[in-house]
Structure formats: C-alpha cells, structure tokens
Structure 1
C-alpha cells in the first residue's frame, strides 16, 4: 500500500516565482493586455489564471477567443495580432500551443508567433512535443504550467487501488502530448514487468480523430485482458469521455484518470491529479514573471505543481463493485458526480 506521505506530501502549490508575499500594488500606465485562447470556453484553469493576477494587484484586459486546436483554426485570430497588440498570449493544451508557437525546430518559424510571450497551461509533455527545448530553460518565447502528475507516481497509485498486470489506453497518436505520455507509461510498466495495450481513436478523412467505434476499442481492450484503462491526457479524448465510460462500465473495467476532469466528469474510478484551478494559478505566476518582473521568457522554467490530489468517484466504485482500500480513504477526496 502506498502511503499518504509518499503520494501527497509534496509542498503546497508554491508557485515559486520569487514574487510572493503580501499583495503588492504595481505601477502600471495601463492594464496588461492578454489574448486568451481556449477551445471550449473558460474553465477552472482560466479562473485560476485570472484570479492569480488579480490577487496580486495586476491590472489586466483579457480578450478571450474561442478557437479550434489546429494551425488553420487559430490563423484567423493570429492575423489580428497587430490590431489586438497583446502583451501576452495564453493557450491551453499542447495542440493549441503548437498551433500558435509551432515546434521550436519548425522549418518555417515565420508561420508561428515568435515575437510575443506565450504562456500555456495543461500541457503534459512540452519537451517531447517540441514546445520548449527544456523545462529548466525553455529557450524561446513560450513557457507555462504542466498538469500531469509524474507517470511513476500515478502508476503506484493505480497499483495501490487495484493490482494489475495489463493496462489499456486509448489515445490520438497524432497528438504529441498524448503520444509522449503513452510512451512514458509503456516504459515504466515494462520496468515493473507489466504490459501496456493501446488502441488508437479512428480518424476522419481530414486525419483528425473521431469518436466512431470507441465502444469497439474498449471491448478490444477488455478482450486483451487489461485490468485498468488509463485515461491519457489527450485533448480529443477529453471531449469523448462520455462515449468511453459506458462501455467501460458495462465491461467491468475501472478507469484511472490523469486529469481532474476524467474523475469528476468522465467516469474514471480514481485519479491522481493536479487541480485545474491550481494549474491556472501557476500559469498566472509565469505570466506575472513576464509582465511584472520583466524576466525573459527563455529563462523562466516550465512549472509543475508540487501537491497532487487523489480523487475517488464512489458512484463508479459502487457500479463496478471495486472499492478503495480503507487506508486510501484517509487522504483521498471522495466525489459522487
């Protein structure tokens, strides 16, 4: 059994920017203008981002644009940058961030935003996705906040709840973020003598993933003998959780979530997660370093939270008949959504 001190005893959010203490008042000639790009409206992540800046007395003018996650989706908005003239661009997720800044080794950098600071939130593997060159020194015009708990820690939590030999995963191989996490899971499972079995979402004529056949994929994982389905932090996958959960429940397969949404809304039994609001706060701290402290973006490390939450969906536990170990209830948050 993994214990609370091993799982949750990392220091509190501690955004670690060096800009901490009592709420200061900054001399600003005008509010900082932030272009906020989201694909499904504002969430707890964006609320945390806004609140962090407000709580530190930073005046902002936030211009929200709801866009898709591909370069062609964001191009119309980016064409208005000279008119909007933002001091900073906020993005959520790996796909959208790449659509804005491109991979750092893109052959045509002029196709992307390289002349303004960009702060991302909810990117699981920014180095593997080629958003930044390293976590410690991003090296370009983009930094931000990661949200996925280290894979080995997630797997220990999963094993503590219910031992496994085989773990299944559904993901979009075209999404660099998801593919990078899948490879980390595969590596760590192999190291402990377990197996990862994957299935890819189908794609439409445009090469983008679609939800068709999700129930078939879940049943294939069941037939392959998986003990868990690991819900990869996949941007598309997060939009079809309602299609994944019913066949998984019908097959008696518990799901482990890498994100807060997967447990609260997506039918996962349990997850070890970074809270979305805190991830937004951390992204806000990065924005503050850029806008207030005037730290060069290339020198601002990509951040990750130091405190995680173990969340158990007790309604899913009842439906599956798979209940948590008693000790786990001493430190887990139990939800009934």
Structure 2
C-alpha cells in the first residue's frame, strides 16, 4: 500500500468517529409540560402549542416533550411537578395558574414558562412584567383587566339591560385573578347604572345552582377559571335553559353556544408560548425575558344563541365583532 493511501485511511479512521461523536453529542431539548386537564385528546390547546413549536423548527424528533396531566383534583399536582423536575427537563411549562405555581414550588433553577395567567405578579410567579426575576416568565392573558369592558359590551349588546351577575371561581389559585375581576365588574356595573350580583362556583358540580341564582339577572359574565373550558357545552346548555345571555373570556365560549365573548385569542396565546421556550433553549434567562401580554382582543357573537334567547344583536355591535358565528 502506498504511504499516501495509508495516511488517508488512518486519517479517515480518526475523523469518522469524531463526526459521529459530534452528532451524538448534540442534545435534543427536553420540555416538561404540566397541563390542567384529563389528557391530550380532550385539551383544546394541546395541538396549538405543538403547532407553535413546529412553526419555529421544533418538529418530530427535534424536541422531546414530557407531558403530565391532572384533572379536577389537584392532590397529585405537586407530585407531577416534582416528576418533571427529576427528569432534568431543560424548560418546564405550566398551562394555567395551578400547574405554573406547582412547578415554581418544585424548582427555583429550571426555567419555567407559564401560559394562561391573568395576573402573573399578583399570583407571585414574577416580580414584574418587564423584569420577571427568578426562573419564571410566560404569557399573561389579562382576563381580569378586561372585566369592565365585558360589562360595557353586554350593555351595548342589550341596551335594556338593568342587571348583571358574575359567576366566579373561588379556588385559592385564582384569588389574584378573581378579586380584581369582581371589583372591576362591580365598579363598571355601578357606573352604567346596573344592579350587580356575584355567585361562587368552584367546579362543574356547582354550575346548576350558580346559573339558577344568576338567572334572576339580565345577563351574566363568566369569570376566570381553569376548568370552564372542559365543560363549556354544559355551561351553554344551562345558560340557554335559563334564557340568560352570557359573555365568556374567549371564542371557545360562543363556539360552545354562549352568546358572546371578549378577550385574547387563546389558540394564539398557546402558539406564542413556543418562541419564549426557544429563547430559553438558546441561552436567554427567564429573568431577562419580559412577560408577554396580548395586544389584540376578539369580540365574538353566536347569532344562533341570540335567536334562541330572543335577542337582536345591534348592527353596530356586529360591525365591531371580530367574528360572528351563524
């Protein structure tokens, strides 16, 4: 064998394993996601979140997701959070307030991104929206701060309206969302000359009683909650049976059969969480990533429900709508 061929052969033998080692050493990021809900099939924002990752280059095989779900009872929530920490995930995600708080209790070092939180500062997840501090950042959907606007929209939609009620979730995890919401709603109702009532509903088992009480009012607002989205059909059935116009927080509410909604597009919120995770995977620290807030809000009407309720939505309101469901 000629010397040149021999050297080339040796060089190739040395270089090839180095290339393989380099390829093998490229770490696939691992993202742990703690969901409030029964499973992926029944969660309306599971697919939008995955689509958000695909849109920024994290498709099949380029990222590992560790999903954990809890439904209704939260006794094992902290256990699930600790499981994700023990898996040494690169980033953790908490979908709604209780999962995010559980992850925060479980670790102060692994980066956490929260999604669907109406009051991140009040709930203690971050120090401020611009400078979160610590290991947490995410997306706020500012539900509580839209409360007064929802009262105004109900009055504009039903000019004869004289009273409004709020059905709200008293769960401790939502205290920092519901309290500002109740206060803002009450103030807005008073300014518009509407009588005001509020009724607690901590879970699906209390819906019938809450709607029975709220039916004495001219319209109702559904406050912030982590479980409404899983029983929207039942909520809509009760609202229609009570002949009660109801405004919800996002388009899944009128899609299920409620009269209307006003708020951030929750599908967009889910998709927008992926770029935040990407920033962290690329080296940015959560403490330096400002909490994102939606800048656009959708007004959606269900005209079928309006007809069943015997309401004529004013043309000016339909013109203002982002979407009308026929």
Using the size of structure 1 for normalisation, the TM-score is 0.76
After alignment, is 229-238 or 241-250 more displaced?
241-250
3-state SS of 1:122 partner: strand
Q: How does 1:126-137 map to 2 (within 5 A)?
A: 126-137=120-131
- Do the aligned partners of residues 194 and 138 (structure 1) sit closer, same or farther apart at CA in structure 2, a change above 3 Å counting? farther
- Do the aligned partners of residues 63 and 335 (structure 1) sit closer, same or farther apart at CA in structure 2, a change above 3 Å counting? same
Q: CA-to-partner distance for each residue in 1:64-97, whole Å, 9 max, x for gaps?
A: 1222477632233233345421111111111222
- Do the aligned partners of residues 243 and 57 (structure 1) sit closer, same or farther apart at CA in structure 2, a change above 3 Å counting? closer
3-state SS of 1:51 partner: helix
Q: How does 1:190-201 map to 2 (within 5 A)?
A: 190-201=190-201
- Name which one, 1 or 2, has greater alpha-carbon Rg: 2
- Do the aligned partners of residues 115 and 237 (structure 1) sit closer, same or farther apart at CA in structure 2, a change above 3 Å counting? same
Tell me the number of residue pairs that the alignment of Structure 1 and Structure 2 aligns: 289
Query: Which of 157, 162, 178 is matched with 1:161 structurally?
Result: 157
Query: Which of 81, 98, 109 is matched with 1:95 structurally?
Result: 98
Q: Does 1:182 align with 2:187?
A: no
Query: Matches of 2:279 and 2:151 in 1, distance apart?
Result: 34
Of structures 1 and 2, the one scoring higher in RCO (CA 8 A, sep 6+) is 1
Query: Matches of 2:57 and 2:316 in 1, distance apart?
Result: 42
Structure 1 partner of 2:248 = 257
Structure 2 partner of 1:318 = 307
Structure 2 partner of 1:39 = 36
Query: Matches of 1:115 and 1:65 in 2, distance apart?
Result: 20
Query: Matches of 1:299 and 1:192 in 2, distance apart?
Result: 41
Q: Does 1:80 align with 2:71?
A: no
More helix by share: 2
Unaligned 5+ runs, structure 1: 1-27, 103-111, 202-208
3-state SS of 1:131 partner: coil
Q: Does 1:282 align with 2:282?
A: no
Structure 1 partner of 2:6 = none
Structure 1 partner of 2:319 = 330
- Do the aligned partners of residues 168 and 303 (structure 1) sit closer, same or farther apart at CA in structure 2, a change above 3 Å counting? same
RMSD, matched Cα: 2.5
- Do the aligned partners of residues 125 and 69 (structure 1) sit closer, same or farther apart at CA in structure 2, a change above 3 Å counting? farther
Query: Matches of 2:195 and 2:30 in 1, distance apart?
Result: 48
Structure 1 partner of 2:137 = 143
Q: CA offset at residue 331 of structure 1?
A: 4.7
Unaligned 5+ runs, structure 2: 1-24
Contact 2:218 2:245 in 1 (8 A): yes
Q: CA offset at residue 191 of structure 1?
A: 4.5
Query: Matches of 2:100 and 2:279 in 1, distance apart?
Result: 19
3-state SS of 2:149 partner: helix
Q: CA offset at residue 35 of structure 1?
A: 0.7
